[in-house]
Structure 1
Amino acid sequence: MRLATDRGKPWLAAVVLLWSCHAGAQAPVQPASAASTAVAQDIPFAPAHDTIITQKSSPDAWGGERTGNEPTLSDRVVSYTIDADLDATKHAVTGKEHMTWRNRSDRPVSSVYFHLYLNAFQNEGSTFLTERKVLASDGGSRGVGVLKKGQWGWIRLQQVQQGGTSLKWSFVHPDGGPEADQTVVRIDLAQPVPPGGTLALDIDFLSQLPRVVARTGWWGDFNLIGQWFPKIGVLELPGERGATQVRWNVHEFHFNSEFFADFGLFDVHLTVPSDYTVGAVGQLQGAPEQKDGKTTYHFVQGDVHDFAWVAAKDFKTLDGTYEGPGSPKVAVRVIYPPEYEASAAPSLKSSIDAIGYFSRTLAPYPYHTLTVVIPPYNADEAGGMEYPTFFTSDAYKYVEPDTYTQMLSDFVNIHEFGHGYFYGILASNEFEEPMLDEGLNEFWDNRMLRERHQDLVLATPFTKWLGITPHIDGFQYERMTAFLQRPHDPLAQNSWDRLSSLSYGTVYSRTTTAMHDLEARLGQPALEKAFRLYYQRWRFRHPSVADFRAALIDSSGNAKDVDEIFNDYVYGTAVMDDRVDAIDTSEVLPQAGVTWKDGKETEVVVSDLDKQIDKQREEWKKAHPKAKPGDPGPFPWHSTVTVVRTGVPVPELLRVTFEDGTHEDVTWNDDRRWVRFDFTKPSKAVSAELDPDAHNLLDADRINNSLTNTPDGAASRRWTADIAAVLQTFYSMLGTL
């Protein structure tokens, strides 16, 4: 998901009835009273708050490492066969779902738990909208649109059957959320599922899309349909992601959280009005079938853990392909509204480029399709969202080269495609460990930009016309937005136990910065090799932060640097801040006093010493008539550079530059809180800088990393010249009017 920090609006929502029944919908079959976490359970829930994982998973977790010789890419735990019919006028989907699920545990399962994500948008009492009131108050969130009358969304279970027997269900609150939340449902089975056995359920459901508010919904004739069907939770076993016993990992839908599900097979028929364009996860099977003004599309995709689709009237398509070593031929399609045609070709190109980069640096892309959706005007909250083989992008009416529009278009496409690896194939738990998806993906995206020599461009078409095209390095930008001086939450924290949405947002930027600094310590080849090992071990499984750490150590052999980054930043909230505190210089002159040599005493008095020094200076001037200021003189110089540490220790390089233009590098790699480095040179020290190569971007204040003994007006002269150039251009433009 792309984090938006500039879309906040005052949160206002109307009070509506708890049950907003769709016209003609059957009344739900359920007990008279909704149950909560007080319901007796044979199998407990994963903890709601103690979610940071420090113990790596067992080697056989999730069926063990995939060798590539198995009949399927993943260990398919679940399968969904769904027939869905879109009522485009009401933005509602009538669905019939046949789900099979395998009990991987060693005990019978008598109740199962499903996510009903759309219920986050049915009233103000949901966990999602309750948390939004607090977390979005800092203005650092997306998903803050106001839902008005007729715009709420929900999902209703109309019937659930096991072998022809109707089942009952009740709403539960695994995280202790508000009673009004209905995003997790417990279904009690007529027949328990034995260890290793398979459960088959037939579910009739009705999904009412909300107006686009976050990740899913409608606007006008556009329908982005995500998290729209009943999805079973994940049954984790001991040794998997910190679990010590069999447990249900089925969190409520939190405001900043995303998703977690088992791998499986999706076989989905989508029926929509015939004048609508459709795109979905997976491959289209055969030609669509038309009947009575509607068209049915059949999509199938294995080895994924979610399914989303789009149905939009009057949208267009642009197609391309990717072919690369180890990958099938990939059909890439961009689906876009006519008003944003300018975004289509750039989105196609950057998506194909991203397939190539991720295939080369991690592993070949394993799927046959990639679908990119550009939302229409007023539906931008649907943009920047990822699903397997399918993502939504940003929309621009004009995409001009070397401007922020091209930069943002490229970056969003690269970022959302990258989720196909870190969220899709490396199916980490986005609820509990968003760092493994959002953070690592953001880091890999910036590596791609760095390889392409593509900075973040801040220019607009107008400033470009003026001849001004400011750029900033991607990693420097991430550092600027990482709140390094006052981090409130560890990177390994879950998505909801955070001070604010801005704090959650540092999952992107602070993880990127931490991985940048780890890469500087290990070296780029070593870090890339470690990521490839992580991918190889955990593709089509569900790793934890501890598993990622283990892969880094096992590959690099450098436990010290990896542990320092993890202990201080991933598991902690440490601050780093080193500074150059002072530069002191003095000439090394002959000294007054008594000395002994060969048993003889010699005394030098001050008056004689002054004459001796003056004489040496005069003789040196005569011998060096062309000497310039800064050249070595008759006496050497002693320089002392003092550095001070107010945060955690990190390896530092100190570069000291002398008046004659030479420099000397020294290493500060210990736990001392301050150090004085002494130099005796022909010239005096004029400046000192810590970390001149910008390896330690986690430094909270890099401005104090350098100090100079002489004022440098280069910066002010540069800015004065730039401003003068802008004014000159402006006045010239006025003169042509």
Structure 2
Amino acid sequence: MNQRQGGRGGWGRTALAIAVGLGATYGAALAATTSVSAEPPAAAGVELAEAVIPPSNAGSGALPAFAAEPMAAHADPVASYTLRATLDQTLHQVRGEGTIVWRNASRIPQREIWLHLYLNAFKNEKTNYMRQRARGFRGGGALADYGWIRVSKLFARELDSELWDKADRHTPGDPDDETDIRVPLPRAIEPGETLTLDVAFVSDLPSVTLRTGFDDSFHMVAQWFPKLAKIEPDGRWAHFPFYRFSEFYADYGNYDVTIDAPEGYVIGATGRLDKETTNGGRIERRFLQEDVHDFAFTAWDHFREVTATTADGVALRCLYPPGFDRIATLELDAVRFGLEHFGAAYGKYPYGTVTIVHPPRGAGEAGGMEYPTLITTGGAWWTPETGARAIEGVTLHELGHQWFYGLVATNEHAFPFLDEGLNTYAEGESMEARWPGNSALRLPGGFGVALPSAYRVAAAEVEHNEAVAQSAARFASGSDYGSLVYSRTGTILNTLAGVYGPDRVREAIGRYTRRYRFRHPGPEELLGVLRDTLGPDAELTARQAIFERGWVDYSVAEISSNRMAPLGGLFGDPDKPSAAPVLDTYGYRGRVLVRRRGTLVFPVDIDLVMEDGSTKRVRWDGKGVTHEVDYEGELRLVGAVIDPEHRVLLDDDLLNNAQNERGGGVGSRVLERGMFGAELLLWLLAP
């Protein structure tokens, strides 16, 4: 999910961004930096924003060695759903019925099952979700219409028993919430035994909020059916109520869903369309998809549609509002590139379809979200005119979730950084591969902002507040959740890429996604792959950064440089002194003292700057809290710059990374402030 889609928090620095931003950026743009790069001008007669994206070469050449990492071809189905959904477009309700086939995939006999009834989060003002309010996150608007789900049947065939009348009526310990429901069983279901549940329910959609709902005749139907919680191998149920900052966690299975909607409605859904049947002014559409863990659909009678097919045969479909033809083209191009790029990096996309949904104005809360084979985007039709690549970014971000949410299926409630954080890294890496140096923002004059630089700004604002690796329910605010889970994790991985090499970090994440496809990995699996690929120092640093609020700040503390004069003093016998030794050169001798504050350790380069502008680079392993660099040379030492290529994006304060012999900056201060402003302006423009 894109956490910016429904609103932003923590904008105390916006005024600084606007006041200082672009003017300072242009003034400093000629300085060397990895955050600014020139973009070739558009062809004559073609506006830059209208330029056609060239064909991708992401998958050209031989695949990397880590592509041979073993990768499961299919999931082990645990919870499979065959459902019929009838949309009442007037009442904004879905009447559902069907069967759920569940297998006890744990090692422990089960005397209960757990159902998530997440539409009940929007039932009234006292639910767990509504009590939390927005706190700097999307979903903060008041509901014009509330929503709910009511189960009327839950019959277990193997037990010959109706289960629903014995189910708990509310979430454990919370009488005001009905989103996490325990259902006791009349006898234990043994490991490997199957339970077939006949189910009937009615889902009443709220006005659009936090991923789901309706706006006029537009419907985004998500978390709409009684959904089994995830059963862990040790017999524990990973069940939890609907939290504002949390997303979802479920077992894999096969989905067979028939959607009955009015004839004039265009439907987009998880999976491939199997058949259509018209009957009495309505159309039934059957969608099938194996190896997934959720199902969502959208219905609207004003959708426009454009389709395409990739070279690998994946059918692309974009549903969008009237007047958004150009946006639809950008989104299709981004998905076409993303499937190729992510497929090469993280394992080939295994499904046959991708449906892109751009919600209409007024339904933005439905945007910026991912479901198996279906993503929702967002943004105004004029967004490309601003120079921000927000449309492309949100599209690639949600597409990336097909790997980090869909194909590895981590517990998004317990450790959201494993999904959103890794996906933020993947988004930035893919955007930089496509638009190097200006992947986030194109500025007049051919300059731009790289997306990883924008992540750094958001991450630096909250880095000392809380740990990255914690449950979504524990974050104090939406701004902490968004900036730490998304931006901080992305910045940690981008720093590892800068220090240890981008190819090695891509290799590590590629091994992780291949090795744990369909396997629900946790943090230790990720850290283990980082250790195996990058080494124990990198693994320790990543662990401290993610679990322990690790931080680092490199600074230049002192610089001295003096001309070497003939040696003075008495040499030899005081009664018969000898001549002073003759030095090989009478140039300059100097010293630079650098410091490392914080708990993280990264090796860094240090550039010694001479009076003619030339530099000499030395390497520091980053260990210890101080380091001295001795200098001798014919030219006077006038300055020093730590990490001149900004590889350590986690560095707290880039303004103290450079100093001249008089104790001031060496030109990077204006640049850093300018980039800071431009990056924050990007966040204002992004959806």
Which stretch shifts more, 77-86 or 707-716?
707-716
- Equivalent runs, 1:196-211 vs 2, <5 Å: 196-211=192-207
Q: CA deviation at 1:498?
A: 1.3
1:582 aligns with 2:580: no
Distance across 1 between alignment mates of 2:346 and 2:522:
18
Corresponding position of 2:301: 313
Q: Any idea what SS the aligned residue of 1:582 has?
A: strand
Q: CA deviation at 1:635?
A: 2.9
1:599 to 1:358, Cα distance in 2 relative to 1, 3 A: farther
- Equivalent runs, 1:175-324 vs 2, <5 Å: 176=173, 178-238=174-234, 246-286=235-275, 288-324=276-312
Q: Any idea what SS the aligned residue of 1:295 has?
A: strand
Distance across 2 between alignment mates of 1:529 and 1:548:
12
Distance across 1 between alignment mates of 2:69 and 2:148:
37
Q: Any idea what SS the aligned residue of 1:300 has?
A: strand
Q: Any idea what SS the aligned residue of 2:459 has?
A: coil
Distance across 2 between alignment mates of 1:672 and 1:549:
24
- The answer (yes or no) to whether the contact 1:155–1:208 under 8 Å persists in 2 is yes
Q: 1:153 aligns with which of 129, 147, 150?
A: 147
Q: Any idea what SS the aligned residue of 2:472 has?
A: coil
Q: CA deviation at 1:108?
A: 2.5
TM-score normalised by the chain length of structure 1: 0.78
Which stretch shifts more, 695-704 or 161-170?
161-170
Distance across 1 between alignment mates of 2:670 and 2:538:
41
1:375 aligns with 2:359: yes
Equivalent residue letter for 1:124: E
Q: CA deviation at 1:7?
A: 2.3
Which stretch shifts more, 214-223 or 123-132?
123-132
- Equivalent runs, 1:62-211 vs 2, <5 Å: 73-132=74-133, 136-137=134-135, 140-148=136-144, 151-163=145-157, 165-167=161-163, 168-173=166-171, 176=173, 178-211=174-207
Distance across 1 between alignment mates of 2:585 and 2:632:
14
1:169 to 1:338, Cα distance in 2 relative to 1, 3 A: same
Distance across 1 between alignment mates of 2:496 and 2:351:
31
Distance across 2 between alignment mates of 1:218 and 1:173:
26
Identity of aligned residues (%): 32
**Hey, which bits of structure 1, 4+ residues long, moved more than 3 A?**
65-69, 171-174, 398-402, 456-459, 467-470, 597-600, 709-719
Q: Any idea what SS the aligned residue of 2:83 has?
A: strand
Q: CA deviation at 1:540?
A: 0.9
- The answer (yes or no) to whether the contact 1:112–1:232 under 8 Å persists in 2 is yes
Q: 2:393 aligns with which of 394, 402, 411?
A: 411
1:66 to 1:695, Cα distance in 2 relative to 1, 3 A: closer
Q: CA deviation at 1:102?
A: 0.4
1:500 aligns with 2:477: yes
Q: Any idea what SS the aligned residue of 2:344 has?
A: helix
Q: CA deviation at 1:523?
A: 2.0
1:680 to 1:300, Cα distance in 2 relative to 1, 3 A: same
Q: Any idea what SS the aligned residue of 1:170 has?
A: coil
Equivalent residue letter for 2:559: I
The C-alpha deviation readout for 1:51-72, integer Å capped at 9, x for no partner, is: xxxxxxxxxxxxxx99668xx6
Q: Any idea what SS the aligned residue of 1:338 has?
A: coil
Corresponding position of 1:641: 592
Equivalent residue letter for 1:381: E
Corresponding position of 1:702: 654
Equivalent residue letter for 1:589: A
Distance across 2 between alignment mates of 1:316 and 1:68:
37
Equivalent residue letter for 1:114: L
1:673 aligns with 2:657: no
Q: Any idea what SS the aligned residue of 1:285 has?
A: strand
Superposition RMSD in Å: 2.8
Whose Rg is larger?
Answer: 1
1:342 aligns with 2:326: yes
The C-alpha deviation readout for 1:282-341, integer Å capped at 9, x for no partner, is: 01112x1111211110001000000000010121110001123xxxx1100001111433
1:216 to 1:678, Cα distance in 2 relative to 1, 3 A: same
Distance across 1 between alignment mates of 2:671 and 2:400:
39
Q: Any idea what SS the aligned residue of 1:499 has?
A: coil
Q: CA deviation at 1:271?
A: 0.3
Q: CA deviation at 1:398?
A: 3.2
The C-alpha deviation readout for 1:36-89, integer Å capped at 9, x for no partner, is: xxxxxxxxxxxxxxxxxxxxxxxxxxxxx99668xx610001110101101001
Corresponding position of 2:511: 533
Q: Give the length in aligned residue pairs.
A: 607
1:447 to 1:590, Cα distance in 2 relative to 1, 3 A: same
- The answer (yes or no) to whether the contact 1:8–1:144 under 8 Å persists in 2 is no
Which stretch shifts more, 438-447 or 641-650?
641-650
Equivalent residue letter for 1:674: T
Name structure 2 gaps, 5 residues minimum: 10-67, 673-687
1:124 to 1:485, Cα distance in 2 relative to 1, 3 A: closer
- The answer (yes or no) to whether the contact 2:561–2:661 under 8 Å persists in 1 is no
Corresponding position of 2:411: 429
Q: CA deviation at 1:680?
A: 1.5
The C-alpha deviation readout for 1:211-249, integer Å capped at 9, x for no partner, is: 0111011001100001100000111123xxxxxxx2110
Corresponding position of 1:569: 545
- The answer (yes or no) to whether the contact 1:171–1:184 under 8 Å persists in 2 is no
- The answer (yes or no) to whether the contact 1:83–1:97 under 8 Å persists in 2 is yes
Equivalent residue letter for 2:478: S
1:295 to 1:474, Cα distance in 2 relative to 1, 3 A: same
Q: CA deviation at 1:399?
A: 5.4
Equivalent residue letter for 1:116: L
Corresponding position of 1:420: 402
1:7 aligns with 2:7: yes
Equivalent residue letter for 1:323: A
